[in-house]
């Protein structure tokens, strides 16, 4: 239970701090919008860093297909009926974790809480209550 609480707290922090338009987390000049990004070929630590970069500079990556693996977490929003679906990548060696919100294609079934899965979707920016956020849309569970 303590691990789940820690994970949920981390995800909440990610959602709070992942507003689009933030300063870049680090300098990745090799990022090209539209080029697919496969985070499943990276180590957990590298995937966390790459997600941090994506969330820090989403404008450069809008429309990019991103493939990632992680643990499923769902958080209820402050408005009734709003649920945020998140894929969280965790590195057990460093304790670092990073999450990406996603929306599955119409009719798709979301995983069970805590399930590990792989998904691919297209990065998009959306506005909610005056703030900008990033998520993967038309996402598909691959594994």
pLDDT-derived band at 34 (thresholds 50, 70, 90) equals low
Q: How many CB atoms lie within 10 A of CB 98?
A: 26
What is the pLDDT of the chain when averaged over all its residues? 81
Contacts of 42 (CB under 8 A, 6+ apart): 50
pLDDT number for residue 22: 39
The least confident of 27-36, 76-85, 128-137 is 27-36
Q: What is the mean pLDDT of residues 73-94?
A: 91
Q: Exposed, middle or buried, 40 (CB in 10 Å: 0-12/13-18/19+)?
A: middle
pLDDT-derived band at 14 (thresholds 50, 70, 90) equals very low
Nearest to 89 by CA among 63, 69, 108: 69
pLDDT surpasses 60 at 57: yes
Query: pLDDT of 115-128, one tens digit each?
Result: 999 999 999 999 98
pLDDT number for residue 17: 38
Q: Are 20 and 133 in contact (CB under 8 A)?
A: yes
């Amino acid at each position: 239970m303590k691990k789940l609480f820690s994970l949920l707290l981390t995800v909440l922090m990610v959602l709070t701090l992942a507003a689009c338009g933030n300063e870049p987390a680090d300098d990745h000049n090799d990022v090209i919008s539209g080029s697919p990004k496969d985070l499943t070929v990276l180590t957990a630590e590298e995937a966390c860093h790459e997600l941090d970069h994506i969330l820090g500079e989403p404008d450069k990556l809008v429309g990019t297909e991103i493939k990632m693996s992680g643990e499923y977490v769902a958080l209820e929003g402050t408005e009734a009926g709003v649920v945020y679906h998140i894929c969280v990548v965790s590195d057990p060696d460093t304790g670092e974790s990073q999450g990406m919100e996603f929306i599955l294609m119409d009719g798709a079934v979301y995983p069970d809480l805590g399930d590990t899965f792989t998904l691919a979707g297209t990065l998009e920016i959306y506005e909610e209550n005056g703030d900008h956020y990033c998520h993967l849309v038309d996402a598909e569970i691959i594994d």
